Amino acid sequence: MNAESAHSLSQADRKILLGVARSAIQHQLEKGVDLQIVASDYAKALQAQRASFVTLNRQSMLRGCIGHLEALKPLVEDVAENAFAAAFNDPRFPPLASHELADLEIHISVLTPSVQLPFASENDLLAQIRPYKDGLILIDGMRRGTFLPSVWEQLPEPKSFLQHLKRKAGLPEDYWSEKLQVFRYETESFS
């Protein structure tokens, strides 16, 4: 997403969102209850309905990642909810402990609305994928998976990116179906 995008957040808004994410985690650790966010207390850009993902890292290792693909609530509320969920409800990790907060790195990705990609074949789809720019959502029946654009750092080739996304959705790497749907989105990411 370029800086001129209507969806860009100011540096001040980014700083506020990072603070809200940390506060949501810290509030749970200290008080044992969810942090209550009142969206109207924040700038208009943070009140807009937007989807986000919050990724937590410790010592350069993933510690949690939770988000929404669709805008369901004000951005500031979405970030708080996802930060809490990434810290305490990511099924891949035990709940975050108090001693982990000090060196916790918080990374926020704010998503643009997703757009369905029309394609006639896997090669057609691969030709449309924009490395390092696109996040993808793959859907086939009840199977679903997504990769944020940041995953391109580990999987820089479109074919490999798509194969791993299929695996994440519970499908074989060479799977193909006429019912397969793919959507693309971009993110504005900061930490």
Provide the CATH number for the domain around residue 121.
Answer: 3.30.1490.150
**Structural domain boundaries, residue 16:** 11-111
Instruction: Write down the pLDDT at residue 2.
Output: 39
Residue-wise pLDDT tens digits, 118-154? 999 999 999 999 999 999 999 999 999 999 999 999 9
* Dist. CA 166–CA 164, nearest whole Å: 5
Whether 16 and 100 share a structural domain: yes
Q: The domain spanning residue 51 has which CATH number?
A: 3.30.700.20
Examine residue 1 and state whether it is found in any structural domain, yes or no: no
- Residue 5: its H or E element: none
Residue-wise pLDDT tens digits, 59-91? 999 999 999 999 999 999 999 999 999 999 999
Q: In total, how many domains does the chain have?
A: 2
Whether 158 and 100 share a structural domain: no
Whether 22 and 52 share a structural domain: yes
Q: Is the pLDDT of residue 1 over 80?
A: no
Examine residue 5 and state whether it is found in any structural domain, yes or no: no
What is residue 43's DSSP assignment? Answer: -
Last residue of a domain, one of 89, 111, 133: 111
The number of beta carbons lying within 10 Å of the beta carbon of residue 160 is 12
Q: What confidence category does residue 5 fall into, taking pLDDT thresholds of 50, 70 and 90?
A: very low
Q: Is the pLDDT of residue 26 over 50?
A: yes
Instruction: Let me know: does 117 contact 128? Beta carbons within 8 Å.
Output: yes
